[in-house]
Amino acid sequence: MFPGAKIPRLALILILAVSSLRVTLYGQARQPVLVELFTSEGCSDCPPADALLGKLDTQQFVPGAQAIVLSEHVTYWNHDGWRDPFSFGQIDERQQQYARQFLLNDVYTPQAVVDGAQQFVGNDPVQLSRAVARAEATPKLNVTIEGAHEAPDGAIAFSAHAGDAQAILVAAVAENATTSQVAHGENAGRTLHHVAVVRVLKEFGPGRTDGRPLELSGADLIAAERTGTPLRLVVFLVSTKTDHVVGVAEQMLNPSPPGIAEQTAR
């Protein structure tokens, strides 16, 4: 169209409608999506998956999605020359639950699970992007975290507004970032980096949770708090009908110096 030419009325209406649509789309908050990575420092295939999870966490490269990530370290590689310092048995149990849910013959690493609804090899960036995009398009319940702080006994106390009688509330506290010098096993000689490493995981059961005080505690968590390690509190709802994650929220806790945690929204 030439400068100064008049825009037909119908075309003008269409242009305004498209512009309004763009404003609406770009103005929307990102949809939270839970991405769990079952990993181990004793597994040579896991470092690329750890790096991919870190990239997703920092770059948030899936449009419209706010990926909330968790690194969950299993114990069954610990017999192969290196004991993963971040592994604990509850993570094994959680992965076994997923194996039954997805009708898998066995557990494996690295395994990524998105919103409890999709699973795949965790070092595959194409699969990861597709799974997160699919989860982003699925409506979720709103979950909010309130009053998160370090209790006198070292536990993390909080309340969550996520009432749903047909969902189970689960909470995890994760170290924001960790580094290990691996001396033995398949990754001997490597320096490994992880994000959002789960240190405590707890199910609070089904039913409405609004206004109920909740706590998470554990020896590893207390040790992290004493060193002033930044922590992430992740709270999510799991449907009792589908086992899918139907709502998730995250908050950063920065205990520096040790004491009452400074709260910052992530």
Q: Which pTM does this prediction carry? A: 0.84
The pLDDT value given to residue 212:
75
The pLDDT value given to residue 6:
45
The pLDDT value given to residue 215:
86
- Closest C-alpha among 143, 145, 175, 158 to residue 245: 143
The pLDDT value given to residue 208:
63
* Below-50 pLDDT ranges, the chain: 1-27, 256-266
The pLDDT value given to residue 258:
40
Sort 154 into a burial class: Cβ within 10 Å, 0-12 / 13-18 / 19+: middle
